[in-house]
């Protein structure tokens, strides 16, 4: 389990346990501590349903201590976990605490929820992109397509590549290049956790744009939704109930209940979302970023297909990123460019790491250990690879889980595999 999945699972558990019904009519509460690091896993202990593998090391001990620090129905994470999850969660610093079994005080954070960042890339890598290395031809093609789009001939760019190769970095680079040009940016992020949630990327984008918070009243949410819809259409009274229903906002007494057939409501909702995109494009050029299409739900792909047809006659540049296993149905259309990102060679990987070093040093975020790690990762010759350090004690049947760190051709660390997440 990756650190991000561990924290997400912990938040789900904390939110659900309180709703469980017991025969004693008692309210159940849970405290969760999560730590990441090297552990030793050995023989099975216990019997029946209680049987489990023995786990030894500082990591499970730290997770248990963090659990003791946690408030009821909360999740507390350690410093190593905090670094690995980036800005994907809303965290509150608990400061440093002395814990039993560890010589030095440890830092701890409460995870309060999933962050509302626009993309996985931005959540994992705060700050500005470090620039592109070895992507000169691809970047020139993207800028040319952007210029065509800005002149009214809508363009679609399909950016494909294996996990961690730099697809999101490439999109972020273009967004930075045109940051000073008048345009509207619409960003839709697909998620492996919401493949069965209809229109999840579009729902998240609307909630971010309207700055809707879960704790706000329905009236406040409707006010914010209407304000954002007015930017693209004069048909607010007609469209707002449809979009509010999509966002699960109660209509209250402001609008009459929707009584149309589900199929008709679905069709009108998709049309309203397309009209929003077109309305914004009539005001100024639009950069649409649809990230990780391989995780998109079926309804989002249907809407995306309709959007491809619609934007071809609008000043819109639509970037769609996906992994090679995704079969993009838009290949071959005149307005569609395909960009397949490959691995960098050894020299390009070195240049990438040097650029990352300079950026980190300028921001005051780098140290000798980081630079040594980056130098070692340059040896991956531009592809995602693993550096593993493990031990095996054969005579006792114990083994140490490997500590692995991966780095991609974009120069940014990607999913860290092989770390043990101790969740108490």
Mark out the alpha helices in 151-260 (DSSP H runs).
167-177, 200-210, 218-229, 236-246
- As given in the structure block, the two tokens for residue 115 are 């962050």
pLDDT on residue 275: 95
Q: Which residues, listed in sequence order, are joined to residue 41 by a DSSP beta bridge?
A: 55, 399
Give the pLDDT confidence score for residue 49 in this predicted structure: 58
Q: How far apart are CA 88 and CA 5, in angstroms?
A: 11
DSSP annotation of 256: P
Find all residues with CB under 8 Å of 320, minimum gap 6, and list them. Answer: 156, 157, 158, 159, 290, 293, 304, 328, 330
Give mean pLDDT in consecutive 10-residue pieces for the chain, a chain of 424 residues: 86 86 82 88 66 76 89 91 87 89 87 71 50 79 95 95 88 90 95 92 94 90 95 93 96 93 96 96 96 96 95 95 95 91 77 70 55 47 34 34 33 35 54
CA distance 135 to 167: 11
Residue 28's Cβ-count burial label (10 Å; 0-12, 13-18, 19+) is middle
Tell me the C-alpha to C-alpha distance, in Å, between residue 291 and each of 178, 201, 288, 294, 380: 18, 9, 10, 9, 26
pLDDT of residue 303: 97
Hey, is 56 helix, strand or coil? strand
Report the first-to-last Cα separation within the chain, whole angstroms: 14
Identify the pLDDT of residue 45: 63
Q: Give me the pLDDT at residue 418, please.
A: 33
Give me 200's structure tokens. 């999840």
Single pTM value for the model: 0.70
CB-based contact 289:171 (threshold 8 Å): yes
Residue 420 CA to residue 175 CA, distance in Å, equals 36
Which tokens is 319 given?
């970037």
Tally of CA atoms within 13 A in the half-sphere of 318 that contains its CB: 25
What's the pLDDT score for residue 116?
67
CA distance 239 to 129: 37
pLDDT score recorded for residue 388 = 30
């Amino acid at each position: 389990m990756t650190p991000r999945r561990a924290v997400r699972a912990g938040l789900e558990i904390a939110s659900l346990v309180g709703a469980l019904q017991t025969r004693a009519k008692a309210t159940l509460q849970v405290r969760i501590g999560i730590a990441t690091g090297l552990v030793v896993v050995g023989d099975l202990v216990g019997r029946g349903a209680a049987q489990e593998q023995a786990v030894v090391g500082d990591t499970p001990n730290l997770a248990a201590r963090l659990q003791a620090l946690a408030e009821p129905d909360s999740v507390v994470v350690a410093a190593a976990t905090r670094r690995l999850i980036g800005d994907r969660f809303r965290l509150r610093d608990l400061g440093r605490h002395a814990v039993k079994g560890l010589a030095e005080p440890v830092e701890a954070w409460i995870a309060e929820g999933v962050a509302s960042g626009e993309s996985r890339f931005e959540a994992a890598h705060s700050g500005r992109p470090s620039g592109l290395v070895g992507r000169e031809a691809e970047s020139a093609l993207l800028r040319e397509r952007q210029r065509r789009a800005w002149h009214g001939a809508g363009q679609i760019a399909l950016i494909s590549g294996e996990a961690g190769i730099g697809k999101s970095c490439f999109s972020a680079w273009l967004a930075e290049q045109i940051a000073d040009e008048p345009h509207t940016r619409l960003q839709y992020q697909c998620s492996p956790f919401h493949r069965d949630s209809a229109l999840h990327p579009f729902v998240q984008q609307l909630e971010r744009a309207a700055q809707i918070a879960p704790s706000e009243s329905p009236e406040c949410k409707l006010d914010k939704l209407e304000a954002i819809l007015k930017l693209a259409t004069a048909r607010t009274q007609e469209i707002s109930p449809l979009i509010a229903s999509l966002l699960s906002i109660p209509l209250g007494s402001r609008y009459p209940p929707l009584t149309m057939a589900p199929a008709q409501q679905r069709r009108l909702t998709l049309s309203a979302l397309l009209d929003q995109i077109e309305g914004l494009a009539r005001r100024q050029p639009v950069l649409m970023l649809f990230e990780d299409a391989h995780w998109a739900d079926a309804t989002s792909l249907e809407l995306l297909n309709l959007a491809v047809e619609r934007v071809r006659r609008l000043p819109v540049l639509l970037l769609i990123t996906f992994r090679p296993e995704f079969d993009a149905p838009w290949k071959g259309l005149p307005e569609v460019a395909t960009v397949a990102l490959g691995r960098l060679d050894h020299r390009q990987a070195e240049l990438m790491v040097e650029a990352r070093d300079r950026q980190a040093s300028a921001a005051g975020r780098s140290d000798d250990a980081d630079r040594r790690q980056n130098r070692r990762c340059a040896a991956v010759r531009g592809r995602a690879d693993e550096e593993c350090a493990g031990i095996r004690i054969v005579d006792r049947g114990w083994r140490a889980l490997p500590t692995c760190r991966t780095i991609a051709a974009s120069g940014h660390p990607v999913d860290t595999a092989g770390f043990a997440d101790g969740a108490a």
